[in-house]
């Protein structure tokens, strides 16, 4: 597993919750799909659907397609929740432009 993609404690807790509800405890899958506000949008689904293990935090292993790993390098997955709901966000890094939605980004 690479150490170049990180998962915040709040994201790990929510990933673990979603994986458990789906019946795949500790296993989640992240892939990138085309976005409208920025080039890539993160998509998270329970289970190990394809790809390789790319990050692990608090008992949750996140898998991703090998061909997308270079796009995810150096990013941090976070989770924010409030009274109106919650969502996963990409924490902005150098050379990364994030949309206001937080889940879409482009490499500069």
Three-class SS of residue 60?
Answer: strand
Residue-level pLDDT at 102 = 85
34-92 pLDDT, tens digit each: 988 899 999 999 998 889 999 999 999 999 999 999 999 989 999 998 888 889 999 87
- Within 8 A by CB and 6+ apart from 106, the residues are 38, 39, 40, 96, 97
pTM of the model: 0.88
The per-residue pLDDT for 87 is: 92
Q: Quick one: how far is CA 62 from the chain centroid?
A: 8
So where are the chain's domains? 6-107
Q: Both tokens of residue 61?
A: 């292993």
Nearest 5°: phi and psi at 48?
A: -105, 90
Nearest to 69, CA basis, from 99, 33, 31: 31
Give me the pLDDT at residue 85, please: 83
CATH 2.30.30.100 corresponds to the domain 6-107: no
* List of residues 6+ apart from 19 with CB closer than 8 A: 25, 26, 27, 28, 46, 47, 60
Round to whole Å and give the CA distance between 34 and 43.
10
């Amino acid at each position: 597993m690479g150490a170049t993609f990180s998962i915040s404690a709040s994201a790990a807790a929510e990933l673990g919750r979603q994986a458990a509800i789906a019946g795949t405890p500790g296993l989640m899958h992240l892939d990138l799909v085309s976005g409208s506000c920025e080039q890539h949008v993160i998509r998270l689904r329970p289970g190990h659907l394809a790809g390789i293990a790319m990050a692990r935090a608090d008992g949750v292993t996140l898998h991703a397609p090998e061909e997308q790993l270079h796009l995810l390098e150096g990013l941090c997955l976070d989770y924010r929740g409030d009274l109106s709901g919650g969502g996963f966000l990409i924490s902005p890094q150098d050379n990364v432009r994030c949309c206001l939605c937080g889940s879409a980004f482009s490499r500069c």
